[in-house]
Chains A and B, each alone.
Chain A
Amino acid sequence: MACRVFLVSFLLLLAASPAISTNSEGAVLRALKARLSDPSNVLQSWDASLVNPCTWFHVTCDAHNRVIRLDLGNSNVSGPLAPELGHLQDLQYLELYGNNFEGRIPEELGNLKSLISMDLYGNRLEGGIPKSFAKLKSLRFLRLNNNKLSGSIPRELVTLSNLKIFDVSNNDLCGTIPIDGPFATFPLQSFDNNSRLNGPELQGLVPYDFGC
């Protein structure tokens, strides 16, 4: 009960604590918050003085106090995606849809080796889909639709054998649609409204990314 809040001491405790990984997960999330504008105060509960972020709203931990979910769908936040998010080793659900996230999708998100679902749809993200996503071997749902993404769909994603849902509609992608691996099963609607994205790729004599 005698829980003491000596703010200055927190950083030192952080360094000394055996549960350093949990604390650093809090630091990762604070790095995200630090760059965001949050007019609806949805991140208000992110109290930096806590030992772990497991009681922060919109964050869910597993039994070992490791962050497994980040749920910020339709939260009216804006700003860039922090590359630090890539350090959440146990994250399974990254639900950031329906906000005003802008800028590029950080390469580092490819390090989220436990990720099952990444929902970044309905933001203002631009730049390419990181090739590093090919490392997300657990990924089953990847929804990047309704952004301003450009470039081609990385061919490397065909190795994501668990991918069940893939949606990149309403972006500015170009090139051709892969057909190998899980891409054999995705409906064309998942690729709609990318004015420079051409029909399923043609194997053989043509370069994969013609027109891009």
Chain B
Amino acid sequence: MKTIRIQPLLLPFLLFFSFSFLKTGAQTEAQALLQWKSSLFQPDALSSWSLANSTTPRTWFGVRCNSAGSVVQLSLPNANLNGSLDNLDFASLPGLTKLNLHYNLLRGPIPSNISALSKLTSLDLSSNNFFGYSIPPEIGQLSEMVDLRLYNNNLVGPIPYQLSNLRKVRYFDLGYNYLENPDYTKFTPLPSVTHLSLPVNSLTGKFPPFILNCTNLTYLDLAQNNLTGKIPNSLSTNLVHLESLNLTFNFFKGVIPVSLANLTRLQNLHLGLNNLTGGIPPILGSISSLRILELYNNSLGGPIPSSLGQLRMLEHIDIKAAELNSTIPPELGLCTNLNYVELSINQLTGGLPQSFSELTKMSQFGISSNLLSGEISPDFFTHWTELISFQIQNNSFTGRIPPEIGSATKLQDVFLFINKLSGSIPSELGDLAQLTLLDLSENELTGPISTKLGNLKHLLLLNFHSNDLSGEIPPEIGSATKLQTLYLFKNRLSGSIPSELGDLAQLTYLDLSENKLIGLIPTKLENLKRLKLLGLSSNDLFGEIPHQLGNLASLVALDLGSNSLSGPIPETITKLAHLTFLNLENNSLSGMIPRSIGSMTSLESLHLKKNNLTGDIPLALKDCKRLTVLDLGENGFCGNIPTWLGESLSSLRVLRLRSNMFLGNIPPQLSLLSSLQLLDLAHNNLSGSIPHTLGNLTAMATNEQTINTKGHFLGEELAYSWGYTNSISIVWKGKEYVIQNLTLSLMLGIDLSSNSLSQEIPAELTNLLGLVSLNLSMNHLSGSIPEMIGKLSELESLDLSMNHLSGAIPPSLSSLTSLSSLNVSNNRLSGRIPSGYQLQTLIDPSIYTGNDGLCGPPLPKCSSNGANHVQLSTEDGHEMIWVYLSMELGFVVGLWGFFSILFFNKSLRFAYFRFIDNIYDRFSRR
């Protein structure tokens, strides 16, 4: 960079030097080139540029001179030139016809004095970085220019309209910059241009008008700009020589013009990622030279025209995500040059045409996420010997996987997941030596897993989950040594887990959950140093959890839930510093929580419910500061609920200590858990009063449900890619449910039932406006139901039964319009049951019984209800009274109007008296 700074001093000196002593042009040119060289940073490629080598540049690298010794070409592509063009004195190189500096590290501006190169026919400055500079309009003065390439330079500003003065230019490439619209009023058509390339720029508005008059164009690329409006019809009438048209990734709308069929030389048509509508014009089938047809990601709709079968040159068709809703026309099987077919994400129906077996050049075949059905023809695999990728997932294909698949020996990716394929998995898959990704999950496949799959030395992914596979996991799988993902969950696999899986050194995700696996967890799994996920839940594994699992240093999720594991939780597991999710629930584990648990500082979810664990909650747990879910329910834990729990575990969203032997008071510090959504302390021996501070639980104090949906409980990767999520049991409307995901993130509830809590229900609980479920039943609570209970507008389930509550049921209870489950039975409540809204739909009397003083529907009427001569037995008694009052009063009031009609209508008069008789009868019958 220093050299640039001395340039003003050097230049006059050199000019003087050249004019005075060196008469020849060659010597002037040599000096100009050397001056530029000296401005570059470490120009190793230019080591031959030296006056010591030669006083003329004739022999210098990249320089070509004419017979007179004058420089005519400077060609230095990919020469690692680092600097700028500022010090290249173009005026000293008047004979230059070709300048190629492609792929260097040139920065700064393109100097405007480049216009001095008046003989220049070819300029290639592509793939440098003139970031932030514009194209100098003076380039437009280079009237001999035939080939102009400025692509991939981060150039900005409008395309200078002066470039349209380049009357001889044939190749014009300004792509991959940030160029904006030229002044179209001054930009005249380029009469000679055949190759016009402006992709990945910032062109806006309608199709550039000047292009429509560049009538010699054979290649036009406007991809990835911001162009709008329709594709002009004149495109196809004017540019009849077009061989390649690329309008991908713009905002073109309207229909695909049928006039495109005029482009009889068109080979490549790229219209993907626009807003085109109105279907695929069948006439496109008449462009017989077409090799590439891309219409993907448009809202085309309609069918795949069978006329496309006429495109006998077609090699590549991509109409993905275009809302197509037809069958696949068998005529496409006539396009025997096809090697790339991508029709995924449409609503295509029917089967795969048998004629496709003629497409013998097929290499990549993708028709996933359609509504296709029928069987997969074995002929595809015997005929498609070039097949690399076969992706038909997420359809409704039935029948067997043809064993002939073993003939397609170049196959790398086989995606058959989410179909209705049945039968067994052909062992011939083991013959596909190149196989990398094999996903057959979510089908109805049966039978065993072939031992031959161990032959697949390139296999990275083996995904057979959610099928009906049986038999044992073949130990030979351990030979597929590149395997990273092995998903066999949700099958009926039996036997034990082969210890050979411990040989899979690259294995990152191993999930064998929900099978019928028995036996011990192999200790050899400790070799899986890259393992992030180990899922063995819902099997019949027994024995102790091997302490060797503590060596799985990369482990993020460990799921051993719902087995028959016994013994203690090995202390070694607490060495797993990355472990986020630990599920050991529903086993027969005993002993205490390891005192070293505090070293698991990544732990977010700890599921230990339904074991035989004992002891207290260890103090060390307070170092697990990321804990969001702590479920110790249904064990034999005892002692107090520690006060530090509220003070230290500030991320807790779920605290479930249900069905243990905790005693003492509920610590008021729990109110510090500002994210707590579910507090379940039911079925313990807790005593004392309910802390008033629970009314401060921030996350429950809002009924703006949107707040709680932010962020799931687990990290994105765990929840989405791996399908792992927290599941929590709650008692909801009198029934136990397991909730997860969205429901879990929205649920706000408190369950303190079946303890020995006493004194009043704190009025502050009515500040928890978002509460959906509140269960305080089976305690010794006294006093009255908080008057403001009606503030809990989201409450759906409320159980206060079996306490000593007294007084009246607050009338505000009737304003709980979401309430669908209520129980206040077996208290000492009195007075009239409020009515209205939901309460008039909660008509089961048992929710109020056992309160001697309660009356009114659905219980018998209140005795203090004054004179009421009609005895009614229905549960809606008080409403029935209305009937009679109104029959008596209402008619008297309305009588006058009625008689006035009777005077004018004879037949009505008759009818009316029959009606009166009727009413009379009705009263006397009672």
Contacts and interface: CB of A to CB of B under 8 A. Distances in A.
Do A and B interact?
yes
Interface of A: 1-6, 8-9, 12, 16, 41-42, 44-45, 47, 49-50, 54-58, 60-61, 63, 69, 71, 73-75, 93, 95, 97-98, 116-117, 119, 140-141, 164-165, 179, 184-189, 199-206
A73 B559 contact: no
Given A47-B741, A55-B743, A187-B885, 9 more contacts: A4-B724, A5-B725, A57-B818, A95-B838, A116-B843, A117-B841, A119-B841, A188-B886, A188-B894
Contacts of B720: 5
B838 A202 contact: no
Contacts of A71: 796, 817-820, 838, 841
Interface in B728-760: 732-733, 735, 737, 739-743, 746
Contacts of B535: 2
B709 interface: yes
B894 A199 contact: yes
Nearest to A164: B876
A57 B911 contact: no
Contact of A187 (B466, B837, B840, B882): B882
Nearest to A167: B879
Contact of A45 (B466, B737, B742): B742
Contacts of B122: none
A1 B585 contact: yes
Interface residues of B, number: 75
A161 B107 CA distance: 90
Contact of A6 (B723, B740, B879): B723
B920 interface: no
Interface string B416-427: 001010000000
Contacts of B740: 3
Contact of A206 (B369, B732, B840, B907): B907
Contacts of B585: 1
B454 to A, nearest CB: 25
B746 A45 contact: yes
Question: 9 tightest A-B contacts by CB?
Answer: A4-B723, A202-B911, A187-B886, A73-B817, A2-B513, A47-B742, A188-B890, A1-B561, A74-B817
Contacts of B837: 73-74, 97
Interface string B533-570: 00101100000000000000000000101100000000
8 contacts: A2-B723, A44-B709, A55-B739, A57-B772, A60-B820, A97-B837, A199-B898, A202-B915
Residue among A4, A74, A205 with the highest chain B CB neighbour number at 10 A: A4
Contacts of A199: 894, 898
Interface in B864-916: 874, 876, 879-880, 882-883, 885-887, 890, 894, 898, 907-908, 910-912, 914-915
Contacts of A116: 843
Contacts of A95: 838, 841
The secondary structure that dominates the B interface is mixed
Given A2-B723, A141-B840, A60 B733 contact: yes
A45 B723 contact: no
Contacts of A1: 537-538, 559, 561-562, 583, 585, 607, 727
A12 B742 contact: no
Contacts of A74: 817, 837
B757 to A, nearest CB: 27
Given A1-B583, A2-B724, A187-B890, A141 B841 contact: yes
A12 B709 CA distance: 27
Contacts of A185: 880, 883
Nearest to B513: A2
Residue among A1, A56, A200 with the highest chain B CB neighbour number at 10 A: A1
B581 to A, nearest CB: 9
B687 to A, nearest CB: 32
A187 B889 CA distance: 10
B172 interface: no
Given A9-B418, A41-B705, A2 B742 contact: no
A211 B225 CA distance: 67
Contacts of B369: 8
Residue among A3, A93, A164 with the highest chain B CB neighbour number at 10 A: A3
B548 to A, nearest CB: 22
B442 A6 contact: yes
Nearest to B740: A3
A9 B394 CA distance: 8
Contacts of A97: 837
Contacts of A184: 922
Contact of A2 (B394, B418, B537): B537
A165 B837 CA distance: 14
Given A41-B705, A47-B741, A179 B876 contact: no
A203 B918 contact: yes
Contacts of B727: 1, 3
B637 interface: no
A49 to B, nearest CB: 7
A189 B886 contact: yes
A58 B818 contact: yes
Contacts of A61: 735
B516 to A, nearest CB: 15
B36 interface: no
Contacts of B874: 164
Contact of A202 (B719, B840, B914): B914
Residue among B513, B559, B735 with the highest chain A CB neighbour number at 10 A: B735
A202 B908 contact: yes
B511 interface: yes
Contacts of B724: 2, 4
B662 interface: no
A146 B883 CA distance: 20
B746 A203 contact: no
B418 A75 contact: no
B729 to A, nearest CB: 11
A4 B721 CA distance: 10
Contacts of A6: 418, 442, 466, 723
B841 A93 contact: yes
Given A55-B743, A63-B735, A206-B907, A2 B489 contact: yes
Given A93-B841, A204-B910, A44 B466 contact: no
Residue among B583, B725, B841 with the highest chain A CB neighbour number at 10 A: B841
Nearest to B730: A55
A3 B722 CA distance: 10
A44 B910 contact: no
A46 B885 CA distance: 45
Given A1-B561, A5-B725, A71-B838, A50 B912 contact: no
Residue among A45, A69, A116, A206 with the highest chain B CB neighbour number at 10 A: A45
B89 interface: no
Contacts of A8: 369, 394, 418
A7 B898 CA distance: 65
B108 to A, nearest CB: 52
A5 B741 contact: yes
Contacts of A4: 489-490, 723-724
Contacts of B607: 1
A53 to B, nearest CB: 10
Interface in B508-534: 511, 513-514
Nearest to B895: A199
Contacts of B819: 71
B446 interface: no
B394 to A, nearest CB: 5
B733 A5 contact: no
Nearest to A98: B817
B817 A56 contact: no
B915 A2 contact: no
Given A71-B817, A119-B841, A164-B876, A203 B914 contact: yes
